[in-house]
Amino acid sequence: MMQQIVQVKGLTKQFKNLTAVNNLSFSVNEGDVYGFLGQNGAGKSTSIRMMLTLIEPTSGQIELFGMDLARHRREILRNVGAVIEKPDVYKYLSAYENLELFARLSGIKPTKKLLMDQLEMVGLANRANDRVKTFSQGMKQRLGIGIALVHNPQLIVLDEPTNGLDPQGIADIRNLILHLSRDLKKTIVVSSHLLSEIEQVATRVLIIDKGQKLVEGNAAELFDPAQTIVELQTMDNAFALEQLKASPWSSYLQAQRNTAILLKLNRTEIPSLHTDLAAMQIQLLSLQPRHSLEDYFLQITSGNQHVDTYTN
């Protein structure tokens, strides 16, 4: 059985009248590249900041490595590395000097070999002695990840690591995440509003909107091109939903919005669905296939809507 590195239960954060995170629960298994996906303002950064004790939850529980974060903060965070937004580095120091300084702040007495190995891993060994002020944003981001890894943490948390990067910078970060996961066996939580980026690196995915969980699941299944999201609009969605939940189609249900019901199925199953809807006396207004998870993501995270989630 996979060890759970992160377990979040009922996490809520309120700022006066705004509920930024609303009763959020999810788990990250050892070895996951866990894609934390949602549009800007969905509550991703707030959730991550609570996981790193940068802000305090209004309610809920966070466990990392099987320990309660509120009670074992120092012990837990020794085994966590994080880059939140743009990394804070000293522009007038070199990459090597930055890394050495942050290593010592972490309580490590680093050897030159350790620091150069770290810079090699993030693709900066040939720029070790150059001042950071001469670096591109992508290089600064990779240095920030190197700093986050200098104490060899088991869990790495990256909040929007490709924000503001050019295509080459994005590709570099993507390849680094894959290297950390596949070669160094790190567990990684990476947040993004770019589904196309998460799709290329994640093993499991959580989609949130307005602070609430919409979908959590295995990335290979969610990103399976053979699977199509079908949007149903009926004369009576409440009746249709009741009938579908009592039918073999219940396991296909994804979410209910104000005006539509979403199911995920293979395209070849659409004719059978159409036949069964008629047999259940569901009066259909429209049945529209959405051809990709990108469509689905935009459907369930845009506009003013209410979502009830069925997937775990």
pLDDT in tens, 5-62: 999 999 999 998 899 999 999 999 999 999 999 888 889 999 999 999 999 999 999 9
Domain total of the chain: 2
The enclosing domain of 119 has a CATH number of 3.40.50.300
Q: Are residues 171 and 253 in the same domain?
A: no
Q: Are residues 261 and 285 in the same domain?
A: yes
Q: Which domain holds residue 84?
A: 4-220
150-165 pLDDT, tens digit each: 999 999 999 999 888 8
Q: Are residues 14 and 34 in the same domain?
A: yes
Q: Are residues 161 and 257 in the same domain?
A: no
Both tokens of 7, joined, read 């377990």
Q: Are residues 41 and 64 in the same domain?
A: yes
Q: Are residues 176 and 29 in the same domain?
A: yes
Average pLDDT, the chain: 87
Q: Are residues 23 and 108 in the same domain?
A: yes
Q: Are residues 132 and 166 in the same domain?
A: yes
**pLDDT value at position 307?**
38
The SS3 of residue 158 is: strand
Instruction: Locate the DSSP E strands across the chain.
Output: 4-15, 18-29, 33-37, 59-64, 67-68, 80-84, 155-159, 187-192, 204-209, 212-218, 227-234, 253-256, 261-266, 284-290, 308-309
pTM of the model: 0.77
pLDDT surpassing 70 at residue 294 = no
Lowest mean pLDDT segment, chosen from 62-66, 70-74, 211-215, 308-312 = 308-312
Answer whether 144's CB lies under 8 Å from 173's CB: no
Domain boundary among 186, 220, 254: 220
**pLDDT value at position 23?**
95
Q: Are strands 67-68 and 59-64 parallel, antiparallel or unpaired?
A: antiparallel
Residue bearing the bigger pLDDT, 178 or 220: 178
Q: Are strands 187-192 and 33-37 parallel, antiparallel or unpaired?
A: parallel
Domain boundary among 220, 246, 265: 220
Most confident of 49-63, 72-86, 104-118: 49-63
Q: Are residues 27 and 83 in the same domain?
A: yes
Give Cα separations from 4 to 8, 11, 26, 67, 294 (angstroms). 10, 17, 10, 11, 28
Average pLDDT over residues 287-309: 59
Domain boundary among 220, 236, 269: 220
Per-residue pLDDT band for 312 (boundaries 50, 70, 90) equals very low
Lowest mean pLDDT segment, chosen from 23-32, 179-188, 243-252, 281-290 = 281-290
The enclosing domain of 305 has a CATH number of 3.30.70
195-210 pLDDT, tens digit each: 878 888 999 999 998 8
Average pLDDT over residues 121-136: 94
Q: Are residues 98 and 159 in the same domain?
A: yes
- Residues of the chain with pLDDT > 90: what percent? 56
Q: Are residues 137 and 256 in the same domain?
A: no
Q: Are residues 141 and 213 in the same domain?
A: yes
CA dihedral 288, 266, 284, 242 (to 10 degrees): -130
